[in-house]
Amino acid sequence: MNLQRNLIALGTIARREIVRILRIWAQTLLPPAVTMTLYFIIFGNLIGSRIGTIATDSAGAGISYVEYIAPGLIMMAVIQNAYGNITSSFFGAKFQRFVEEMLVSPMPSWAILAGYVSGAVLRGLMVGLIVLAISLFFTKIHLYHPLVTLSTFLLAAVIFALLGFVNAIYARKFDDIAIIPTFVLTPLTYLGGVFYNVAQLPSPWKEISHLNPILYMVNAFRYGLLGISDIDLTWAYLIMLAFVVVLATYCMSLLSRGVGLRS
């Protein structure tokens, strides 16, 4: 197929994903809104009010705890939903076998991957905007660096969409797509500097925290919104870009070999 036809195919998958996300909004959009509202109430208002300022911005003004955790909570919601969208949707297509609709078509592997990743990123964007709107009820958001904010959101959503795709490819039963989010993704997110400044951790926990890729995403996103970061932004971008390249290459390899899809 030529490029135009491939883009139509890619757009068809992305469109189907959006329709699915909106059709089951009570499963896709509502839960993160409820969960994040609770985080803002408990950690932001109830506990945060006792913590006071946790950092200072570039102008020397104090940053309250609720303001500090808001970018991390938005990023946490984006990561979890980008991952969850692609695992449930692609594994569902495998489980009901309608993935075969795409496999018997002339559409190339990259279009299948890009279509599903687009759907996951769009869900991440929708959830991210919802959580951002909720955060405005609890704190003020400045948006210091719009480009950093947008690019970090995109890179993080793509990385976790690709990771979710790998999970869905290898999954044979629904348990297989629940294990990674529960036992890997959630702990890494909580330990990724969402709720605290890793620079304040004692050794060796401070150094160990730097092995967590989510730390770089949360901090780059926080820099975009608040203008402060616990880590070097260059490293954050290099690590995120490296993850995108490696994971995308791996996903393409899985698709072209038909792993988990073609017998």
Partner 1 sequence: MSNAPASVPALEVADLRKTYATGVEALKGISLTVQAGDFYALLGPNGAGKSTLIGIISSLVNPSSGDVRVFGHSVRTDRSRAMQMIGLVPQEINFNLFETPLDICINQAGFYGIERGVARERAEKYLKELALWDKANAVTRTLSGGMKRRLILARALMHRPRLLILDEPTAGVDIEIRRSMWKFIEGINAAGTTVILTTHYLEEAEQLCRNITIIDRGQVIENTSMRKLLAKLDVETFVFDVADANGELPQLADVRLARVDDHTIEAEMSRAHDLNSLFAALSARGITVRSMRNKANRLEELFVRLVEGNLGAKEAAA
Query: What region, left, alpha or beta, does residue 55 occupy, with left being phi > 0 and alpha being psi -120 to 50 degrees?
Result: beta
Give how far the C-alpha of residue 8 lies from the chain's centroid of Cα atoms, to the nearest Å.
Answer: 26
Q: Does 22 bind partner 1 (CB under 8 A)?
A: no
Closer Cβ to partner 1, 120 or 130, answer by number? 120
Q: Contact between 238 and partner 1 (CB under 8 A)? A: no
Residue nearer to partner 1 on the CB measure, 14 or 74:
14
Own/partner pairs for 169-178, CB < 8 Å, 24+ apart?
169/90, 169/251, 169/254, 169/255, 169/259, 169/260, 169/261, 170/259, 170/260, 171/87, 171/91, 171/94, 171/260, 174/91, 174/95, 176/91, 177/87, 177/88, 177/91
Give the residue with the Cβ less far from partner 1, 31 or 108.
Answer: 108
Nearer to partner 1, 97 or 173 (CB): 97
Q: Is 26 in the site for partner 1 (CB under 8 A)?
A: no
246 touching partner 1, by CB under 8 A? no
Q: What is the smallest separation between the CB atom of 20 and partner 1, expressed in angstroms?
A: 8
Examine residue 18 and tell whether it contacts partner 1 (CB under 8 A).
Answer: no
Q: What is the torsional sign of CA 128, 190, 231, 49?
A: positive
105 lines the binding site for partner 1 (CB under 8 A): yes
DSSP state of 106: S
Query: Which residues, 36 to 95, sit near partner 1 by CB under 8 A?
Result: 93
Q: Binding partner 1 by CB under 8 A: which of 22, 101, 199, 232?
A: 101
Closest contact distance (angstroms) between CB of 95 and partner 1 is 11
- Interaction between residue 122 and partner 1 (CB under 8 A): no
When binding is defined by CB under 8 A, the residue of 107, 155, 240, 251 that contacts partner 1 is 107
For the CB of residue 23, give the shortest distance to partner 1 in the complex, in Å: 8
Provide the minimum distance between the beta carbon of 106 and partner 1 in the complex, in angstroms, as a whole number.
4
CB within 8 A of 154, min separation 6: which ones?
Answer: 121
Going by C-alpha positions, the residue among 124, 157, 139 that lies closest to residue 226 is: 139
Q: 105: left (phi > 0), else alpha (psi -120 to 50), else beta?
A: beta
Closer residue to partner 1, CB minimum distance, 87 or 209: 87
Stretch in the footprint of partner 1 (CB under 8 A) among 33-41, 99-107, 164-172, 228-236: 99-107
Instruction: Check binding of 172 to partner 1 (CB under 8 A).
Output: no
CA distance 255 to 263: 12
Tell the smallest beta-carbon distance from residue 11 to partner 1 (Å).
Answer: 7
Q: 45 or 105, CB closer to partner 1?
A: 105
By the rule CB under 8 A, 31 interacts with partner 1: no
User: What number of H helices and E strands is found in the chain?
Assistant: 13, 2
Q: Which helix (H) or strand (E) holds 51?
A: helix 48-51
